C-alpha cells in the first residue's frame, strides 16, 4: 500500500516508529507536513499538492496532526477523505476530540463516567460554578491546553475564584472540574485500536505535582485494567468515532472517569512501558480495514 503520515515532525518518535513499521511490512510511506500542502477542491478530480507537485494517490493515511495546526491539518485530511483515501482516524473524530468541552458533552450523553465538569464565561457566575462542581479543591483547565499546560489545581475557594477571574479576564475558554484527589496524582492511559485496548499504562506524577503528564516529569508503568476500565475506554473511543485513541482515565471513588480522549496518542511512553509494538499493530489494523473502508467512503462521501 501507499501510506501517508500527516505529521509536522518526521523526526518525532511516533512518526519514525510508524514509518519503520510500515516499511517493515512492505509498504511505501510518505511523511507529509500538512501545513505545506495546498488543495484543489473540485468535483471531478480533487487533489493535494506540495511544492508544485501533485502528491498523487494514497491507499491510507495516518493523521498525526499537532494541536496547533488542527484547523489546516483537518482540512488536508478531509481532502484526502474526499479523494477516497482510508484514514485510520476520521477528520470528524479528530475535531470532536480536540474540543475538550465538546468531548465531555458527547461522553456524558453516552453515560460515560466523567469528573463533574462546569463551563461558564461570566465572572458573576463563578460562585455558583464552584458550588456546581462540589467546591474547592477543584481543577481549572484551559480548553486549548495540552500536555498539562493550563491545568491548575485550586486548593481553596479563594484561589479558585482568583484563577477563574484571571482566566476569564483574559477571555480564555476554561472548564472547571471536580478534583479527583483519590487518584493520588496517577492516571491511566488506555491505547485503543479498533475494538481493543492494546496497551495500557499508569502514569504517576512526580512528588509535589498532581499532573501525571510524562512531559511534566511523570513516570509510566504497565498496568492491568479492570473489565470496567477496559469497557469505558472502548466506549469513549467509539463515542468520539476514533479507531486510534489514547483514553485517559482517573480511578475515582465512583469508578473510572474519563478525562480526555486523544486522537494522536504518543507511542514512545506506551511502547516503553508495555513493551508492545503499537506501531506494528496500527499498520496491521490499516491493512485489514483500508480496502473495505475506502470503497465505502468513496461511495457515501465523508464530510
Ligand atoms: P492535558 O490534555 O493538558 O494533558 P489533562 O486534562 O489530561 O490535560 O490534565 C493533565 C493531568 O492533570 C492529568 O493527566 C491528571 O494527572 C491531572 N488531572 C486532570 N484533571 C484532573 C482532575 N479532575 N482530578 C485530578 N487530577 C486531574
Q: Is 210 in the pocket of ligand 1 (CB under 6 A)?
A: yes
Sequence-ordered list of residues with C-beta below 8 angstroms from that of 231, at least 6 positions apart, any chain: none
Give the residue among 85, 46, 6, 14 at the shortest CA–CA distance from 289.
85
191 and 251 both lie in a single domain: yes
Among 130, 145, 179, residue at a domain's last position: 179
Q: Is 115 in the pocket of ligand 1 (CB under 6 A)?
A: yes
Interval 181-190: pLDDT, tens: 999 999 999 9
Q: Residue 170 domain-assigned?
A: yes
83 and 141 both lie in a single domain: no
Q: Residue 258 domain-assigned?
A: yes
Q: Is 262 in the pocket of ligand 1 (CB under 6 A)?
A: no
161 and 209 both lie in a single domain: no
Whole-number Å distance, alpha carbon 148 to ligand 1 midpoint, is 6
Q: Model's pTM, two decimal places? A: 0.93
Strands 138-142 and 117-119: unpaired
Among 66, 87, 108, residue at a domain's last position: 87
Q: Residue 21 domain-assigned?
A: yes
The minimum-distance atom of ligand 1 relative to the CA of 179 is 24
| 135: its cell numbers | 467546591
What residues does 186 pair with on adjacent strands? 204
175 and 195 both lie in a single domain: no
Mean pLDDT across the chain: 93
What residues does 50 pair with on adjacent strands? 37, 53
Q: Can you give the CATH number for the domain in which 203 is found?
A: 3.30.470.20
Q: Is 248 in the pocket of ligand 1 (CB under 6 A)?
A: yes
Q: Residue 69 domain-assigned?
A: yes
Among 151, 179, 207, residue at a domain's last position: 179
Sequence-ordered list of residues with C-beta below 8 angstroms from that of 245, at least 6 positions apart, any chain: 89, 97, 191, 192, 236, 237, 261, 262, 263, 265
Q: Residue 111 domain-assigned?
A: no
Q: Is 86 in the pocket of ligand 1 (CB under 6 A)?
A: no
Whole-number Å distance, alpha carbon 227 to ligand 1 midpoint, is 23
Q: Residue 303 domain-assigned?
A: no
Residues of the binding site:
141, 178-179, 187, 211-213, 248, 260, 262
pLDDT band at 144 (very low <50, low <70, confident <90, very high): confident
196 and 256 both lie in a single domain: yes
Whole-number Å distance, alpha carbon 62 to ligand 1 midpoint, is 26
Q: Can you give the CATH number for the domain in which 44 is found?
A: 3.40.50.20
Average pLDDT of the segment spanning 203-229: 93
Q: Can you give the CATH number for the domain in which 167 is found?
A: 3.30.1490.20
Whole-number Å distance, alpha carbon 31 to ligand 1 midpoint, is 31
Q: Is 257 in the pocket of ligand 1 (CB under 6 A)?
A: no
| 46: its cell numbers | 480533487
pLDDT for the residue numbered 68 = 87
Report yes or no: 77 and 34 within 8 Å, Cβ to Cβ: yes
| Tally of domains within the chain | 3
Structural domain range at position 223: 182-266
Q: Residue 302 domain-assigned?
A: no
Percentage of the chain lying above the pLDDT 90 cut: 85
Residues of the binding site for Mn(2+):
248, 260, 262
Q: Residue 240 domain-assigned?
A: yes
Average pLDDT of the segment spanning 6-23: 97
In whole angstroms, how far apart are CA 151 and each of 167, 207, 256?
A: 12, 17, 20
Whole-number Å distance, alpha carbon 50 to ligand 1 midpoint, is 38
pLDDT for the residue numbered 150 = 86
Amino acid at each position: 500500500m501507499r501510506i501517508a503520515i500527516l505529521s509536522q515532525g518526521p523526526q518525532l518518535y511516533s512518526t519514525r516508529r510508524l514509518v519503520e513499521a510500515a516499511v517493515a511490512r512492505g509498504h511505501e510511506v510518505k511523511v507529509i507536513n500538512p501545513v505545506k500542502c495546498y488543495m484543489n477542491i473540485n468535483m471531478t478530480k480533487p487533489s493535494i499538492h506540495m511544492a508544485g507537485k501533485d502528491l498523487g494517490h494514497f491507499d491510507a493515511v495516518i493523521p498525526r496532526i499537532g494541536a496547533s495546526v488542527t484547523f489546516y491539518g483537518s482540512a488536508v485530511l478531509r481532502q484526502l477523505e474526499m479523494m477516497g483515501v482510508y484514514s485510520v482516524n476520521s477528520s470528524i473524530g479528530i475535531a470532536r476530540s480536540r474540543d475538550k468541552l465538546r468531548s465531555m458533552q458527547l461522553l456524558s450523553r453516552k453515560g460515560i463516567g466523567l469528573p463533574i465538569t462546569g463551563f461558564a464565561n461570566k465572572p458573576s457566575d463563578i460562585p455558583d460554578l464552584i458550588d456546581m462542581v462540589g467546591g474547592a479543591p477543584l481543577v481549572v483547565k484551559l480548553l486549548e491546553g495540552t500536555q498539562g499546560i493550563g491545568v491548575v489545581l485550586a486548593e481553596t475557594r479563594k484561589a479558585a475564584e482568583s484563577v477563574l477571574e484571571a482566566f476569564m479576564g483574559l477571555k480564555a475558554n476554561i472548564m472547571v472540574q471536580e478534583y479527583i484527589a483519590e487518584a493520588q496524582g496517577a492516571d491511566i492511559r488506555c491505547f485503543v485500536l479498533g475494538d481493543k485496548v492494546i496497551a495500557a499504562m499508569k502514569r504517576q506524577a512526580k512528588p509535589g505535582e498532581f499532573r501525571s503528564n510524562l512531559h511534566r516529569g511523570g513516570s509510566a508503568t504497565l498496568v492491568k485494567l479492570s473489565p470496567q476500565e477496559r469497557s469505558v475506554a472502548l466506549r469513549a473511543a467509539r463515542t468520539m468515532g476514533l479507531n486510534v485513541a489514547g483514553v485517559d482515565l482517573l480511578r475515582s471513588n465512583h469508578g473510572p472517569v474519563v478525562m480526555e480522549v486523544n486522537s494522536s496518542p504518543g507511542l514512545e511512553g506506551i511502547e516503553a512501558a508495555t513493551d508492545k509494538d503499537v506501531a506494528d499493530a496500527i499498520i496491521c489494523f490499516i491493512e485489514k480495514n483500508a480496502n473495505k473502508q475506502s470503497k465505502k467512503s468513496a461511495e457515501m462521501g465523508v464530510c
